[in-house]
Chain A
Amino acid sequence: MNDKKLNQLFAAARRENPPAVPSDFAERVQRELGQATDNAPLSVSFVDQLNRNFARYAVAAAAMIMLCAAVEIGQSLSQEPSIDDDVSQICSDWMLH
Chain B
Amino acid sequence: MVNDDAELVARVRAGSPDAYTDLVRHNQQQVFSILHRYERDIHLVEDLAQETFTKAWRALDRFDGRAPFQHWLSRIAVHVALDHVRRRKRLSGTIALPDLGEDSVAWLRDELPPRELEARQAREILALAMQSLSPAEQVVITLMEIEGRSVKEICSLTGDSSVAVRVRALRARSKLRKAIEKLEATEHE
Contacts and interface: CB of A to CB of B under 8 A. Distances in A.
Interface residues of B, number: 47
B160 interface: no
A39 B32 contact: no
Contacts of B22: 26
Interface stretch (A12-20, A53-61, A72-80, A86-94): A12-20
A22 B25 CA distance: 11
A12 B107 CA distance: 12
B45 A19 contact: yes
A66 B176 CA distance: 60
Contacts of B105: none
Interface string B58-100: 0011000000000000000000000000000000000000000
A13 B146 contact: yes
Given A30-B24, A33-B20, A41-B15, A9 B126 contact: yes
Interface stretch (B116-124, B132-140, B151-159): B116-124
A32 B45 contact: no
A47 interface: no
Interface string B102-130: 00000000000100111111110110000
B50 A13 contact: no
B33 interface: yes
A19 B32 contact: yes
Given A1-B181, A41-B57, 5 more contacts: A6-B177, A25-B24, A27-B21, A41-B15, A41-B60
15 contacts: A3-B177, A6-B173, A8-B117, A12-B119, A13-B122, A15-B119, A16-B122, A16-B123, A18-B32, A19-B32, A21-B49, A30-B24, A33-B20, A33-B57, A41-B17
